[in-house]
Structure 1
Amino acid sequence: MKIIIWICFVIMLGGFGTGFYIKIVETNPEIGDKIIGLSVLFTSFIFMPLFLYHRWKGKDIKDYVLDKKKLDEMREKDL
């Protein structure tokens, strides 16, 4: 999974770099904007879900949620 995430990260950076290069150096802003937009879509819908799944796999969400019981425990420790 780490290798897939790294490959997606490199593709994302390559897309952004290519888009900005074409937009600035080649003086073709339409194509550069399209490449940058596709890179943003790739980041949003492919890279980010893969990354979040990899980071949260095997963890319990209850450990990160602040509820009334934990608030009461924190208040008792402060007193």
Structure 2
Amino acid sequence: MKYIIILLFLVSFGSILAGYLMDLDCSEKLIGFGVTGLFFIVFPLFSYYRWKDKDVKDYILTKENLDKMREREGDTRQK
């Protein structure tokens, strides 16, 4: 999955660069396909890849998590 994301990123970025550097009739389309690929394909795949094994509850500020944070903060202040 990691290599697919890297490959798609390079293809999208290459498409954007080719659109800017080459003077073709379809330069604007190359830039558009590159940007679209980055935002609708590469970024969601990257986000899924990074978050697939994580528990979202660990990142939500609930009363229990706030209490844990306060306990840790108190421990570091006493040292």
**TM-score (ref. length: structure 1):** 0.74
1:19 aligns with 2:14: no
Superposition map of 1:1-79 within 5 A: 1-22=1-22, 26=23, 31-75=26-70, 77-78=73-74
Structure 2: gaps (5+ residues)? 75-79
For residue 73 of structure 1, report the CA deviation from its aligned partner. 4.0
Percent of residue pairs identical: 44
- State the one-letter code of the partner of 1:10: L
Q: Output the CA distance in 2 between the equivalents of 1:72 and 1:57.
A: 26
Structure 1: gaps (5+ residues)? none
**TM-score (ref. length: structure 2):** 0.74
Where 2:26 maps in the other structure, the secondary structure is helix
* Residue-pair matches, total: 74
